[in-house]
């Protein structure tokens, strides 16, 4: 009996050791959060009722997200337009360091993100994450061509999000008004037949181009949302964490609210479409709760730039709605309305409820933050413009700002640098579509530099550059340093892909 007892005890020891090892490994896996990044398209800072008391669009789901997490009042996209912002989100690097100095990519442009460059997706994949992009890409694809140089839509697409870290990709090429109009699953379009759709005008605007037989513009947002919900359901049953990059095609034109949402806002069809975006947040929240994974999921909601004038600015103002709140300008502009955006994060097991932060942050900060979460050391040639905002998310008491300074960029390629209350713009006018445009400045005697004190003049009405030469000099030197060093974060200097000119000669 004594011998048998010792054998049983030994067996028990090994069983307990095995259980402990499995539990420890499992618990370590579970420490890494799921990460969901919802990127709205052309949603203004003032379009969220949580951030704008005067908003005519009430966004209950986004407001609830803010009440259960942290909301930033001074968050910025790294560009005032789509493509360069998305480059910054995924790489942690300003897009103007590439060949793209202005504008956005078009229908059949090649990928902007180089295969060799580390992205948020490739970083997380190395840490054991399942990674997926579901939604609007707009960063270029490797379409194959026929002998006559036309695009062969039936051939495998050589370069897709699958080449830069995403296990799965399901989405559309670019904005809903830019052809071709296809769903793409990994490297192939899903359509069995292709035809041509005519251009439209107004809020329902889209350009003429190829369209798949399974593609209807008004169904795209619900369809992509359903795909995202199915992905979350699938991944919730697995032990490994997942990263879902969910770039929405709304409320960018064409503005197409479904019957369920028509007439439900106080700001016309645009307001109704924003409510559909709000409903996406609601659906994501619900599926996380149903699957019991809310507590350890970092859910971020933000926008790629400010409100788009194509949604009819004057109509919104007539409704009494202020899509940029009290900030000057809109999408494409170097002014605050072009790049100041909503940014809300929820992570119940880590982020306290109902926090508001006035820290200046940028969408390029995602990569350094995910690196911190996963305890990954970034290399010198990675995430050159990305700051770790995890301490802010966790409500740590900080003596200094997270970012030394932030660079803004307009559709025309106009730069601005922001540090504390000061914002220096290297150009005359808006740098975008608002008055005064580049063409309008040619007939106006405007100074080439604009300096604003955002503490006392948030609406950027009074240029005080002439009266503050020392501030202008200080910020100009810092801007030049950021360009010359190939980075705006501490670290070994890097090279930009092409030459960058801060202030072209008049």
Tell me the percentage of the chain whose pLDDT exceeds 70: 94
Q: Locate tokens 């307990």: which residue?
A: 16
Instruction: Inform me whether the pLDDT recorded for 29 exceeds 90.
Output: no
**Does 500 fall in a domain?**
no
Residue 17, pLDDT > 70, answer no
Say whether pTM exceeds 0.85.
Answer: yes
Position 322 scores a pLDDT of: 98
Per-residue confidence band for 485, with pLDDT thresholds at 50, 70 and 90: very high
Residue 18 clears pLDDT 80, i.e. is over it: no
pLDDT for the residue 20: 53
What span, in angstroms and rounded, lies between the C-alpha atoms of 228 and 172?
A: 14
pLDDT digits (tens, 9 = 90+) for 169-197: 999 999 999 999 999 999 999 999 999 99
The burial class, CB within 10 Å (0-12 / 13-18 / 19+), for 265 is buried
pLDDT (0 to 100) of residue 433: 97
pLDDT per residue over 66-99, tens digit each? Answer: 999 999 999 999 999 999 999 999 999 999 999 9
465 versus 239: the higher-pLDDT residue is 465
Does 497 reside within a domain?
no
Query: Do β-strands 415-419 and 70-76 pair in parallel, antiparallel, or remain unpaired?
Result: unpaired
Q: Taking residues 332-354, what's their average pLDDT?
A: 98
Residue 17 lies in a domain: no
- Report helix, strand or coil for 76: strand
Strand stretches in 322-394, DSSP E: 340-346, 355-357, 361-362
* Average pLDDT value over all residues in the chain: 94
- Helices 268-290 and 60-67 meet at what angle, rounded to 10? 50
pLDDT band at 506 (very low <50, low <70, confident <90, very high): low
The pLDDT of residue 10 is 54
What is the distance between the alpha carbons of residues 193 and 18, in angstroms, rounded to a whole number? 55
- Per-residue pLDDT for 26 more than 50? no
Which three-class secondary structure state does DSSP give residue 221?
Answer: helix
Confidence of residue 28 (pLDDT cuts 50, 70, 90): very low
Domain range for 420 is: 406-484
326 plus 418 within the same structural domain = no
- Check whether residue 60 and residue 143 sit in a common domain: yes
Answer whether residue 469 shows pLDDT above 80. Answer: yes
Lowest mean pLDDT among 10-24, 291-305, 359-373, 441-455: 10-24
Q: Is 77 left (phi over 0), alpha (psi -120 to 50) or beta?
A: beta
342 close to 76: Cβ distance less than 8 angstroms:
no
Q: Do 410 and 387 sit in the same domain of this protein?
A: no
| pLDDT surpassing 50 at residue 346 | yes
DSSP output for 201-215: -GGG----EEEETT-
Compute the half-sphere exposure of residue 20: CA atoms within 13 Å on the CB side of its CA: 6
Residue 241 placed within a domain: yes
Claim to verify: residue 342 and residue 372 sit in the same structural domain: yes
Confidence at residue 8, expressed as pLDDT on a 0 to 100 scale: 61
pLDDT recorded at residue 13: 57
Query: What CA–CA distance (Å, rounded) separates 25 from 442?
Result: 65
Write down which residue in 358, 393, 428 finishes a domain. Answer: 393
Last residue of a domain, one of 361, 393, 425: 393
- CA nearest neighbour of 275 among 253, 250, 244, 310: 250
Per-position b or e across 137-162, b if 16+ CB within 10 A of its CB: bbbbbebeeeeeeeeebeeebebbbb
The predicted model gives 400-411 an average pLDDT of 97
pLDDT at 12: 60
Residue 25 confidence (pLDDT) = 42
Query: Do 317 and 424 reside in the same domain of the chain?
Result: no
At 185, list the tokens: 């699953």
Q: What was the pLDDT predicted at 7? A: 56
The domain that contains 480 carries what CATH number?
A: 3.30.1120.10
- Residue 23 has a pLDDT of 46
Mean pLDDT of 364-389: 98
pLDDT computed for residue 15 by the predictor: 59
Residue 31 has a pLDDT of 85
Q: Are residues 430 and 375 in the same domain?
A: no
| pLDDT (mean) for 283-292 | 98
Of 347, 366, 393, the one marking the end of a domain is 393
Determine the Cα angle at 60 with ends 58 and 63, to 5°.
100
The average pLDDT across 418-428 equals 98
Residue 161 lies in a domain: yes
β-partners of residue 71 are: 344, 356
Is residue 5 pLDDT above 50, yes or no? no
Token pair in block for residue 443: 């007939």
Based on the structure, what is the number of domains in the chain? Answer: 2
Tokens of 68: 């259960």
CA 402 remoteness from chain centre: 19
For the cut 90, the answer to whether the pLDDT of residue 367 exceeds it is yes
- Take residue 146 and report the two structure tokens written for it: 């026929």
Give a yes or no: residue 5 inside a domain: no
Query: Is there a single domain that holds both residue 163 and residue 309?
Result: yes
- Contact 343/359 with Cβ under 8 angstroms? no
For residue 43, tell me if it sits in a domain. yes
Residue 6 domain-assigned? Answer: no
- Together in a domain, 417 and 384: no
Strands, DSSP E only, in 213-320? 242-247, 297-303
My answer on whether 297 and 437 are in the same domain is no
pLDDT at 505 over 90: no
Residues 470, 373 share a domain = no
Side-chain half-sphere CA neighbours of 137 within 13 A: 34
Q: Are residues 425 and 341 in the same domain?
A: no
Q: How many angstroms from the chain centroid is the CA of residue 189?
A: 24
203 shares its domain with 237: yes
Residue range 260-274: average pLDDT? 97
């Amino acid at each position: 009996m004594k011998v048998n007892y010792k054998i049983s005890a030994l067996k028990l020891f090994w069983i307990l050791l095995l259980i402990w090892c499995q539990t420890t490994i499992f618990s370590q896996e579970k420490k890494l959060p799921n990460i969901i990044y919802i990127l709205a398209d052309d949603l203004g800072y003032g379009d969220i009722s949580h951030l704008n008391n005067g908003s005519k669009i009430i966004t209950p789901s986004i407001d609830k997200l803010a009440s259960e997490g942290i909301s930033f009042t001074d968050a910025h996209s790294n560009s005032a337009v789509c493509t360069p912002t998305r480059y910054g989100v995924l790489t942690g690097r300003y897009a103007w360091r590439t060949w793209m100095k202005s504008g956005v990519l078009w229908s059949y442009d090649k990928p902007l993100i180089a295969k060799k460059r580390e992205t948020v997706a490739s970083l997380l994949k190395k840490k054991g994450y399942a990674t997926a992009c579901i939604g609007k890409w707009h960063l270029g694809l490797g379409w194959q061509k026929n002998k006559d140089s036309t695009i062969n839509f039936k051939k495998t697409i050589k370069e897709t999000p699958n080449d830069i870290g995403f296990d799965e990709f399901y989405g559309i090429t670019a904005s809903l008004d830019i052809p071709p109009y296809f769903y793409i699953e990994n490297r192939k379009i899903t359509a069995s037949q292709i035809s041509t759709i005519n251009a439209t005008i107004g809020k329902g605007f889209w350009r003429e181009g190829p369209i798949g037989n399974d593609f209807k513009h008004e169904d795209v947002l619900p369809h992509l949302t359903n795909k995202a919900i199915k992905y979350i359901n699938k991944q919730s049953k697995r032990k490994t964490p997942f990263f879902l990059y969910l770039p929405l095609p709304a409320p960018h034109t064409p503005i197409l609210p479904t019957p369920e949402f028509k007439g439900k806002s106080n700001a016309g069809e645009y307001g109704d479409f924003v409510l559909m975006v709000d409903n996406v947040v609601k659906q994501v929240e619900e599926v996380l709760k149903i699957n019991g994974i809310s507590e350890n999921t970092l859910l971020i909601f933000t926008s790629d730039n400010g409100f788009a004038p194509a949604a009819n600015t004057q109509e919104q103002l007539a409704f009494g709605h202020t899509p940029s709140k009290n900030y000057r300008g809109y999408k494409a502009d170097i002014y605050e309305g072009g790049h100041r955006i909503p940014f809300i994060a929820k992570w119940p097991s880590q982020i306290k409820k109902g926090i508001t932060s006035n820290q200046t942050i940028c969408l390029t900060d995602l990569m350094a933050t995910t690196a911190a979460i996963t305890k990954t050391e970034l290399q010198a040639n990675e995430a050159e413009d990305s700051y770790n905002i995890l301490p802010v998310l966790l409500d740590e008491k900080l003596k200094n700002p997270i970012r030394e300074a932030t660079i803004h960029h307009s559709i025309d390629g106009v730069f601005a640098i922001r540090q504390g209350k000061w914002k220096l713009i290297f150009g005359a006018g808006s740098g975008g579509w608002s008055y005064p445009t580049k063409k309008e400045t040619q007939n106006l005697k405007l100074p080439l530099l604009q300096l604003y004190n955002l503490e006392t003049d948030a609406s950027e009405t009074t240029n005080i550059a002439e009266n503050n030469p020392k501030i202008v000099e200080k910020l100009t030197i810092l801007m030049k340093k950021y360009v010359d060093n190939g980075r705006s974060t501490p670290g070994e200097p890097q090279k930009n892909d092409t030459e960058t000119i801060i202030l072209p000669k008049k």
